[in-house]
Structure 1
C-alpha cells in the first residue's frame, strides 16, 4: 500500500482490510474452516486438490481505496498409480528399432523418467542406441541387439512430491523369423511446428531416430545463423540445450539423423516470448478539482502488452467522455471528488500480467489565506505601475474580487486578476481587500497601498573635459520622497567602483540627498563613462557623465633609421596617441658610447612640426655607432620618448684624389 502523509498536528489512523478471492469468489474464513487469515496472509490447511486448485487474488482496502494483487495459480502436485499391472510382450527382430511406451498415470507437477532393465537397481543407460524421453517417458532403442532381451519397467518420479511409481514390466522378446536388414533413419520424436520459449528460460529439444546402423544425431540453424557458443548438444542422446534463452536464439532449428542407408530430418521453430515488465509506471498524484490527470503506464513484452485500468479493484468506467484510455495512457479531465481512489494499470499478454499501484487525491478546499496573506504595506512611486498579488489556496480556483475601503473595484484597464494599478497617483492610497470565493466558501485578506514621490536626479547629464593632475567633482544631486532612504552606487565604464580601492583617487563627497564623488589627481586611465545609480524602495534612476582627460602625448611608434652616411641619418616614425591635445612639435635626440646620456641634434628641417613624421639628422661623426629617439610635445607638455632605434653606425670618411693626366 501507499505511504499516508498527514498534516502537522493531525492524527492518521490507517486500518487495512485484506480479502481473498478464489476463482473470482470471495473466501470467507470461519471458525473451524481450513482457511485462516494472518495479517494479509492466507493459510490453507489440509489441501484438497478438488476444492483448492485455482486462481487466487488478494484485495487490500483502506479509507483511500482498494488495490488487488497479481493472480497466483495454485496447483497441487500428486502422482497416482498405474491403472494396469501387466503389459503384453513386445516382439521385434534383431536389428529392428523399437519404442517402449511408458504411459504415465494421472498426475500434477513435473515428472522425470527412468527405466529399470529386468530388476532394480539395474537402470537403462542412455547412449547413441538407447534414449529415454523426458517429455513422454518412452524408451527408444534405435537397433535391438540380443542383449536387449528382458523386462523393462518405467519409473515415474514427481519432482514436487519426490514420490516415485513403477509401471508394469514390458517384456521385450526377439522374433525367430530372421534378422532385420539395414534401413534408413526413422525419427520417432517429432518437433512441434512452433515451440514458444520464455525469456531467460532453458530450452531442451529432444531428437532420436531408429535405424540400422544406429543413426548419428546433429543439430543446425536452418535460417543461416550460427548456433551460439552457449548451445550444448549432448552427443550421446542428441538433446539440444539452450540455457538463458534470448531473443537472438529464436529461429528455425533442424535435427538431422544419418546412417549409411540415408538421412532424415525434422524442423521446429523456437519463438521468443516475454511476459510484461514495467518500464514506466504512474506516480501518486494530488490534483485540484476540475484539473486534468494524465498517467502513463508502459511495459516491455513480447508479444506487445495490452493495457487496462482498475479503480479500487474494479474495471475503470470509461463510458464517460472525460475518462480516456489510450494504449496505457489514462486521461481524466474535469476531476471530481468521486475520482479519488486507488488506481492500477494492468499490462498483460498471454504469458503474464503486471500491476501498478497508484493513488489519486482530488483537492477540494474553501479559499484560505493563512499561508499567503497580502503584504501589510505595498509601496509605489507616483506615476509608476504596481502589482498587489492575491494568491489564496483554494480548489477549484473560483473567483477573485477587490475592494478599496468599502468600495468594490470594477474591472477596468487599471485592474486585472491580481490587482494591477497603472500610472499610480495619490488618489490610489488606501486599504485594498482581496476576496476569494468558490463553491466551498469565501475568505479575504487586506493590505495598504502607500504612494511615494518619484526620485529625480537634478544634476544634468554632462561631459567633462579635464587635464591630467586636476581634481574634479562628478555631481549626483536628487530630489526624492523624504520618507525613503537613498542608496547611491557609482560605476566606471559599467564596472562597480569600490571606494577605498583604485589607489585612493575616488572619494564620496555628497550629503544625504547627494551622491557626488571627487576624483583627485586624475590620470589618463580615468577617462571614460561614469554612471550614478540611485535606488529607493519604490524606484531607481541613473545619470551618466563622460569624462575626457587631456595629457601630454604618448610616445611615437615604429621609430627606425632608414639610411646612414658618414655624417647623416635618415629617420621615420609613426604618431602616438595625442591624448586629446594636438602635437605641436617633435624633437630628435641621440646618444653614443662617448656622450653623457641623450643629447639634442641638428635636423633638417630644423623645426619638426606635429605632423612631421620624418627627419634627417646632420653633423654626425663618421664611423660612430648611434642610437636615436623622438619625443612629441603638445599644449599640455612633452610626452614620453619613443623606444630607441636599433644601433646604427655612420660610414667611414674616405679621401679621394684625382690623378693629373
Structure 2
C-alpha cells in the first residue's frame, strides 16, 4: 500500500453538467482491497448515489454529472481487507471551467463487467455498471434469456452493482446492464459461467488385508469440469501394470504381497483445483489365531433343528478348515455340510449328534484349532394353552399357560396383550402371573372393557420358543348413544331420535331419556311414550314437559350388565307457549298501614309461567259481598299487592284470590282465602307506669295493660323507651315485650345514675302514644374488694371457712352479706350458700376435690370473688380414722390437674 503514494496531482477541470472520472491508481497485485473517497477533509466521505459511484474493482470515483457543489479536493482511501491497514492517496482538485455549461448527452458506460466471467460454485458474485450522462442515467438489470431474478439477488449502490450470493449452476448466463436517460440509452452485456472445484463424494480409508487377497479402492469426486483421477504410492505415480489396475477413480491390486504396504493417495483435479484423499494399506501375513474370534464354548439346539458352527480364526492368508467330532474326521453327507466360510452345518439334529466338535484351521504360516460342545434337547411343548373366553366387567379370570420342557433348560413366560408386552409391575392392580415353575398362568382381576383383545403366552428357552393365543371378550354396559336430536317440539312434548352406540358385546335392552332445564337440579328422567323403550327403538316422544322452557335431552342405554354412559346432550330447544295452569300458592296478607288491604302470595317460578307476558290477576271483595274487585300485577316476581282506600275499616275481613295470565290467555285462580285489612294502631297510653332499681346495672319497669278491642286488631306488645339523666330523649334506647307482658327488666345500665322511662303499646299498624315519664336511680356499684385471708379447716365431716370482713368504699353499695360458691369435679355449675357472717360451715363428701370461692353481696349486686380455694380429696384421711384438726391454705394453681367440684345443695 505504501507504493500507492504519489506526488501532488494536478487539478481536473470540467464544465458543469459534464461527467468525470477521478483515478485512484492503486499498485498492481495489491491483494484484497476496498476503496473510498474523502471530500475535502476527513471524515467527510463521498456518499454514493445515482450520480456518484466508487468502483471496488478499479478504485476510481465516477461522477455522472458534475454540479457546483462537487468542487473541492478528492482523496482516494485504500484499505487492505487482510491486514486492515489503510493509506491515503494525494488529493485531486476538481474545478469548474468558466467557458460554459455542458449540454445534455446520452449515457456513456464507464464501469462494466467482463464479457465472460467464470464464477465458482457457492461464491458471491458482484457485477458493477455505471454510466456518465446528462441528465443522470437510470440503471436497470436483466437476464438476456428473460428469466426473472431469484429473490436472493440484491441490487445495491443505486442499482450500480448486482450481488449474487451462493452462486449455483442455474445462476449462470448472460446479464445485461441498461443505462438510460432522456437523450438515449446504452447496454453492457456479460456472461457468467459456472465452475466448481473438485469435491469429494467418496474417499478411501485405511485398510488391512491379508497377503494373496485383492485390494479394491474407489474414490469419487464432483466438480465442473468433471475431475480426472490419478493414484500415488508413497508420493510416486502409480500406473496400470500387471497386478495393478487403475480405472477412473478405482484402484485394484490383486495377489497382494508384503511390499504392497504403504501410503496411497487418490488425486482428483480439474483446471480450478486439486484435492487429495489418503489412506494406509497394511498387508499382513499370520498363522491362524482364534484369540480374537474364539468359537462358542456351548451350543444348545432342540431335536430336529438345524445348527451352524462358526470357524473364523484370524489368518493371513485365509485358513483352510476341516472338522472333527471327538477324534473322528467329519465328511459331508445328506445332513452334514462344510460351508465355504469354514463353518459346519448339521441339519435335522438328533440326540446322537451331541458332543464336542473341533475346527482345524491351516495356512502356510501355521495351524490352530477351536472346539464347541453341542447339547441336543427335547422341544418345548405347551400342554395347557389359553382358550377364548367371554366375561363381564368386574369379573376375574385365569388364562392358563402350562408347558413341558427339557429339564436342562431354563424357561421363561411372557404375556402380550394386543401386541404389547404386559408390564406386571405397572398393571399389578389387574394382572398377575400365577402357578408353579412350569406354569405361566395369567390372572386378570376386576376386568374392564379395555381388557378386551388378544392375549399371547410366549414361552422361551435358550434353544426354542413357543406361543399360544386366545381372545378375551369383555361384556360391559353400553357406550353412550350418538347424535341425539329433537325432531319436533310442542308446548308439552318433544320428539327425540338418536343412533345406537357401542354395545360392548352385550345387546342393548332398553333406553331411558333424561332432560335438563335451567331450573332443574342436574339431569332428571322424563316420561316417554312408550313408557318402556326397547333396544331396537331409536325414537320416542317425551311428554309432560313445561311450556316455554328451554330443554336439553340425553339418552342412556342399558343391557343385562347395567346402565351405560349417557350420550352427549342434544341442542337446546324451547317448548311452545301455553296458557298458565298453576295459580299462586300461599295466598295470604294482612298488616300494612291504616286504610290498606295487603295481599301476598308465593310468585310462580319461571318454569311454570308457560310463556311471555306473565302476570297476576288479584281479585278481592269485602266479606259477605258478591262483586269482585280485580286488578292486574304485571311483574312475574312481585309477591304482594296493596289496595289503599279511605273507606277500608280497620281489621275488616276480605275474600281474596289470585289468578295468572300470559300472552296466551288467563289461567286459573287460587282458592279463596280470608285476609284482614290493616289494623288501627293503639290510641291509649299505658297507665300505672313505675320503675325501680334492682342493682347497679338493672332497673325494672312495670305498667297496667291498656284496654283493647279485638275489632281493632291484635295487640303485639309494648315498647319501653329509656335514657339516662345526661342523655337526650330523642336518642333513647328501646326494649320490647311480646303479648300481654306488663313488666320488663332493663340491664347493662350504668351505676348510681338516674334513668327515665316511658311505655307505649304497638301492633302491626304501628305504635300508640307514650305514657308519662317515670324514673329510677340505679344503685351504687358492688364492693370491689374481694374477701381476704380465706382460711379453711377440716374437722371430721365438716369444712369450716372464715375470711376477713369486706368494707365498701364511699361510692360502693354497703355489704349486706356473703356468698360461698363451691363445686366438685362432677358438676358444671357452682352451688351457692348465703350468709351474713364472715364464717361458713360445709358438710362434704370426701371422695372428691372441692373448689370454693367467696364474694360479698350488696344492693348493687355481687362483689369481686376471692381467689379460688382447692380442698383436696379426703378419703385417705377417713381411712386412717380422721386425724386431728388440720389447718391448710392451698393455691388452686398447685392442684389444677386434679381440680374437682362439690355436689352440695342449691345450684346457681
Q: Does 1:291 align with 2:203?
A: no
Give per-residue Cα distances to partners, 1:283-314, cap 9 Å, x unaligned: 6543211212245789999999895756897x
Counterpart Cα distance in 1 of 2:524 and 2:268 = 100
Q: Does 1:415 align with 2:337?
A: yes
Residue in structure 1 matched with residue 299 of structure 2 by the alignment: 378
Give per-residue Cα distances to partners, 1:52-84, cap 9 Å, x unaligned: xxxxxxxxxxxxxxxxxxxxxxxxxxxxxxxxx
Counterpart Cα distance in 2 of 1:292 and 1:481 = 49
Residue in structure 2 matched with residue 523 of structure 1 by the alignment: 448
Q: How much has 1:479 moved relative to structure 2?
A: 0.9
Counterpart Cα distance in 2 of 1:656 and 1:303 = 100
Residue in structure 1 matched with residue 542 of structure 2 by the alignment: 617
CA change 1:404–1:279 in 2 (3 A) is closer
Q: How much has 1:280 moved relative to structure 2?
A: 9.6
Give per-residue Cα distances to partners, 1:420-458, cap 9 Å, x unaligned: 222222111011000112222222111210012212222
Residue in structure 2 matched with residue 77 of structure 1 by the alignment: none
Counterpart Cα distance in 2 of 1:222 and 1:650 = 86
The aligned length equals 393
Counterpart Cα distance in 1 of 2:471 and 2:574 = 49
Q: How much has 1:546 moved relative to structure 2?
A: 1.0
Partner secondary structure for residue 502 of structure 1: coil
Q: How much has 1:622 moved relative to structure 2?
A: 3.2
Counterpart Cα distance in 1 of 2:263 and 2:543 = 107
Residue in structure 2 matched with residue 565 of structure 1 by the alignment: 490
Q: Does 1:637 align with 2:562?
A: yes
Partner secondary structure for residue 450 of structure 2: helix
8 Å contact kept, 1:310–1:345 = no
Larger radius of gyration: 2
Residue in structure 2 matched with residue 492 of structure 1 by the alignment: 417
Partner secondary structure for residue 324 of structure 1: strand
Counterpart Cα distance in 2 of 1:379 and 1:283 = 40
Counterpart Cα distance in 1 of 2:477 and 2:532 = 19
Determine which structure has greater relative contact order: mean sequence separation of CA pairs < 8 Å that are 6+ residues apart, divided by chain length. 1
Counterpart Cα distance in 2 of 1:570 and 1:221 = 87
1:472 to 397, 416, 423: 397
Counterpart Cα distance in 1 of 2:499 and 2:381 = 48
Give per-residue Cα distances to partners, 1:325-381, cap 9 Å, x unaligned: 44675432121345446778899999x999999764322222122222222211112
Residue in structure 2 matched with residue 481 of structure 1 by the alignment: 406
Residue in structure 1 matched with residue 358 of structure 2 by the alignment: 433
CA change 1:455–1:362 in 2 (3 A) is same
8 Å contact kept, 2:485–2:497 = yes
CA change 1:620–1:423 in 2 (3 A) is same
CA change 1:517–1:229 in 2 (3 A) is closer
2:286 to 354, 359, 365: 365
Ranges in structure 1 where 5+ consecutive residues have no aligned partner: 1-218, 231-275
| Aligned alpha-carbon RMSD (Å) | 4.4
Partner secondary structure for residue 470 of structure 1: coil
2:380 to 455, 459, 468: 455
Counterpart Cα distance in 2 of 1:539 and 1:307 = 56
Partner secondary structure for residue 484 of structure 1: coil
Counterpart Cα distance in 1 of 2:203 and 2:463 = 50
Residue in structure 1 matched with residue 788 of structure 2 by the alignment: none
Residue in structure 1 matched with residue 792 of structure 2 by the alignment: none
Counterpart Cα distance in 2 of 1:631 and 1:277 = 72
1:396 to 300, 313, 317: 317
Q: How much has 1:324 moved relative to structure 2?
A: 2.5
Partner secondary structure for residue 564 of structure 2: coil
8 Å contact kept, 1:306–1:349 = no
Give per-residue Cα distances to partners, 1:480-538, cap 9 Å, x unaligned: 11122112112221122211323611112121011111111111111111122122111
Counterpart Cα distance in 2 of 1:557 and 1:343 = 76
8 Å contact kept, 1:312–1:341 = no
8 Å contact kept, 1:277–1:301 = no
8 Å contact kept, 1:627–1:647 = yes
Residue in structure 2 matched with residue 548 of structure 1 by the alignment: 473
Ranges in structure 2 where 5+ consecutive residues have no aligned partner: 1-109, 119-124, 128-197, 580-663, 667-908
TM-score under structure 2 length normalisation: 0.38
CA change 1:529–1:329 in 2 (3 A) is closer
Task: Report which stretch shifted further, 512-521 or 550-559.
Answer: 550-559
Q: Does 1:511 align with 2:432?
A: no
